[in-house]
A and B are shown apart, each in its own frame.
Chain A
Amino acid sequence: QVQLVQSGAEVKKPGASVKVSCKASGYTFTSYYMHWVRQAPGQGLEWMGIINPSGGSTSYAQKFQGRVTMTRDTSTSTVYMELSSLRSEDTAVYYCARGGHFVVVPAAHWGQGTLVTVSS
């Protein structure tokens, strides 16, 4: 079965960077796009971007361009999301979620989420 296991909670200071990992299993890693979505405490879902694990191509939401980098390691079936220049408003649960063979397929299988807290 599809499993997405994310790295543990992080506490960062403003201005720092955070890198969240998402290890996939139960399917062919390179055949499915991976979305990243975040949710601030008590707030709604916010789409951050998407990566094609096959070639590594990415598309980022305009809000995060210049601050987010999504990468993958096909040898370990892991995708990464790095967010830089952190500020308090970046405090949120970050989810990876598997899409489909094409970018227009929505996120159907979700990781457990990683809480990132930004605080001085």
Chain B
Amino acid sequence: QSALTQPASVSGSPGQSITISCTGTSSDVGGYNYVSWYQQHPGKAPKLMIYDVSNRPSGVSNRFSGSKSGNTASLTISGLQAEDEADYYCSSYTSSSTLGWVFGGGTKLTVL
């Protein structure tokens, strides 16, 4: 399974909105509505922020939203806050080579 493609870094000022893209293929992102997004702070375990493209687990702020078009999924964070600074990873169910999951390379979000 090849990793999904994410930008290495994005940045934004407090209160602004940012979007992180995640590009895959028809065997993963484009073929299933099983895209999820994780937030990871340094030294911590990842936290699930979005599942099934656009659903938020209980307790996740509604400032986080997800969408998908074709082979590209996106995570949007609105009203940026300092605590949003973290690494973000997309993940998708995949039928490439073996049935399972694949992660993106990760995106470092910097809140200016």
Residues in B whose Cβ lies below 8 Å from that of A95:
45-46
Choose among A46, A61, A65, A107 the residue that contacts B48 (Cβ–Cβ < 8 A): A107
- Comparing A9-17, A20-28, A109-117, the segment that makes contact with chain B is A109-117
Query: Is the beta-carbon distance between A45 and B106 smaller than 8 angstroms?
Result: yes
Residues in A whose Cβ lies below 8 Å from that of B103:
37, 44-47
Query: Is the beta-carbon distance between A61 and B51 smaller than 8 angstroms?
Result: no
Query: Is the beta-carbon distance between B32 and A113 smaller than 8 angstroms?
Result: no
Query: Is the beta-carbon distance between B45 and A106 smaller than 8 angstroms?
Result: no
User: Which residues 34-58 of B sit at the A interface, judged by CB distance below 8 A?
Assistant: 34, 36, 38, 40, 45-48, 51, 57
Q: Does chain B have a CB within 8 A of A32? A: no
Residues in A whose Cβ lies below 8 Å from that of B98:
59-62, 65
Query: Is the beta-carbon distance between A111 and B45 smaller than 8 angstroms?
Result: yes
User: Which residues 73-112 of B sit at the A interface, judged by CB distance below 8 A?
Assistant: 87, 89, 91, 93, 97-106
B residues within 8 Å of A by Cβ? 1, 3, 32, 34, 36, 38, 40, 45-48, 51, 57, 87, 89, 91, 93, 97-106
17 sampled A-B residue pairs with Cβ under 8 A? A44-B87, A44-B105, A45-B46, A46-B103, A47-B101, A47-B103, A50-B100, A61-B100, A62-B97, A62-B98, A95-B45, A97-B46, A104-B93, A106-B36, A106-B48, A108-B57, A110-B46
